[in-house]
Amino acid sequence: MAQLIRHKDWSKTALGTVEQWPQPLRTALAICLDSKFPTYMWWGPELIEFYNDACIPILRAKHPDALGKSARQAWSDVWPEIGPLAERVMATGEGVFAENLEMIPERDNTLASAYFTFCYSPLRDAMGNVAGVFVTALETTEMILSEAALRESETRLQRIMDSARDYAIVSFDAEGRITSWNVGAERLLGFSEREAVGKPGSIFFTPEDRAAGVLEQEMARARDKGRAADERWHMRKDGTRFWGSGLMLPMVGHKRDRYLKIFRDNTELRRAQERQALLTQELTHRVKNTLAIVQSIAMQTLRQSASMEEARDALELRLVALARAHDMLVAGNWSGGALREVVAKALGPYGDNGDSARIRCDGPDVRINARAVVGLSLALHELATNAAKYGALSNQTGQVDVRWEISGGADRRFCHRWKESGGPAVEPPRRRGFGTRSIEEGLAQEIQGEIELDFAPEGLSCTIRAPLQEIADSG
């Protein structure tokens, strides 16, 4: 710049040739040109412009024409912003400092906001009067824009964190202390951000997990494996628990260990899974139980049948009776069934639904438990089959009378009576078959009751007595 200034023809300017310049101007110019900091000088009432090498990148297309021009012309595009500052210095002789002043300079034919930090100082002539302005200027556009971008990205990130209302997003330092806490964490755990940040992360773990060092194990697993599943009961500020479901992750871009934990309340799903497991277990138990009954029926039927044909028929009918008992249990959600329905289903294949003249059923409405439904269904099936083969239902005139009642006060008892009449003369069986055993042993124990089977010649009768509480459906 020094050379450029020296070779410029100044004779046409208000300053005159270099030799005519006053000493204060020369001194100030020397300081300006020696500086490595972008520095300008505007001299005289015309504000004739000088600048140093450091200014050239800032001036861009304005260089070198700006040299020797009035600053008012050279900076006409931004004079509305910087002009008042310069004029003030000229008028008052007081320095001005302006930080990150926004302006829109013309650069490469485009207009965009630029920011500058200025220091305007007065230059004085030999008499001490203000003769010009000494300007140091630093463009801060990049810094300002990157700060704005950073602020925007932080705001955006915060908004994302805050919008994840159903997810607790928590970060930890290497010691497991909480370093950030989003709105979701506040909602889920009850601690405010202020309460949580800085506290040990274990504050929302259960006392058992705290004692077992579960948080530390999670952090170690996240560090070693890249992630650690978090599926466990967590504790809210008020001490209530919920099933947390999520992940612990090591945070990227940190020299020291930092961890991020993202999780949500999955209590509903957990409870559903527990219910499901319980149901499956219960179902397995019931299926096994049923298979055992089937096995027992099948083995005894096969053992006691005279022929394959007899075995097949008897087995089929018994399994159908068992299946009907099951249908009732399924319909009643396995809690039990109505005794009237048990009787009607057992007699269904033989009478006309129990209300015909030959089969009479009478008794109060009573719901019996699952065990009694199975036991009575099988027992009544055996009685009905026997009646149809040898008893009152084997001729055209016999009758079956089925009655049940509940007697007694506090210690209530159940009594169920099956009585046949009008059939062929009854002969006691030659051996105790499946039916007899199923009733006398099976049913008796299933309902903790007493069974009286009477093979009287005028008709078979079977009396079943049991404490009501043993057979009643308590569910």
Applying CB under 8 A, the span of 113-121, 210-218, 289-297, 381-389 interacting with other proteins comes to 289-297
Does residue 61 belong to the site contacting other proteins (CB under 8 A)? Answer: no
Which residue, 441 or 454, is less far from other proteins as judged by CB?
Answer: 441
For residues 75 and 114, give the distance between their C-alpha atoms in angstroms, rounded to a whole number.
Answer: 14
Strands 459-467 vs 413-421: parallel, antiparallel or unpaired? antiparallel
Hey, which residues between 259 and 288 contact other proteins (CB under 8 A)? 284-285, 288
Does residue 293 belong to the site contacting other proteins (CB under 8 A)? Answer: yes
Does residue 199 belong to the site contacting other proteins (CB under 8 A)? Answer: no
Torsion of CA 290, 295, 297, 301, to 10 degrees: 160
Q: Are 262 and 272 in contact (CB under 8 A)?
A: no
Q: Which of 27, 92, 289, 335 binds other proteins (CB under 8 A)?
A: 289
For residues 386 and 144, give the distance between their C-alpha atoms in angstroms, rounded to a whole number.
Answer: 101
Q: Which of 34, 441, 452, 454 binds other proteins (CB under 8 A)?
A: 441
Q: Is the previous residue joined to 22 through a cis bond, with omega within 30 degrees of 0?
A: no
Does residue 470 belong to the site contacting other proteins (CB under 8 A)? Answer: no
Does residue 437 belong to the site contacting other proteins (CB under 8 A)? Answer: yes
Does residue 305 belong to the site contacting other proteins (CB under 8 A)? Answer: no
Site string for other proteins, 220-259 (x = CB under 8 A): ----------------------------------------
Question: Which residue reads 């527990």 in tokens?
Answer: 274
Least spacing, CB of residue 374 vs other proteins, in Å: 9
Applying CB under 8 A, the span of 290-298, 331-339, 351-359, 412-420 interacting with other proteins comes to 290-298
Least spacing, CB of residue 297 vs other proteins, in Å: 8
**Dihedral pair phi/psi, residue 357, rounded to 5°:** -65, -25
Which residue, 2 or 291, is less far from other proteins as judged by CB?
Answer: 291
Least spacing, CB of residue 286 vs other proteins, in Å: 10
Does residue 432 belong to the site contacting other proteins (CB under 8 A)? Answer: no
Q: Are 121 and 28 in contact (CB under 8 A)?
A: no
Applying CB under 8 A, the span of 3-11, 57-65, 109-117, 441-449 interacting with other proteins comes to 441-449
Least spacing, CB of residue 415 vs other proteins, in Å: 21
Beta bridge partners of 237: none
**Dihedral pair phi/psi, residue 400, rounded to 5°:** -125, 130
For residues 132 and 120, give the distance between their C-alpha atoms in angstroms, rounded to a whole number.
Answer: 10
Report the amino acid identity of residue 275.
R
Closest among 429, 371, 425 to 394, alpha carbons compared: 425
Q: Which of 7, 12, 255, 303 binds other proteins (CB under 8 A)?
A: 303
CA angle at 137 for the pair 131 and 142, rounded to the nearest 5°: 165
Indicate the SS3 state at residue 408.
coil
For residues 425 and 428, give the distance between their C-alpha atoms in angstroms, rounded to a whole number.
Answer: 10
Does residue 442 belong to the site contacting other proteins (CB under 8 A)? Answer: yes
Q: What does the binding site for other proteins look like in residue numbers (CB under 8 A)?
A: 284-285, 288-289, 291-293, 295-297, 299-300, 303, 437, 441-442, 445-446
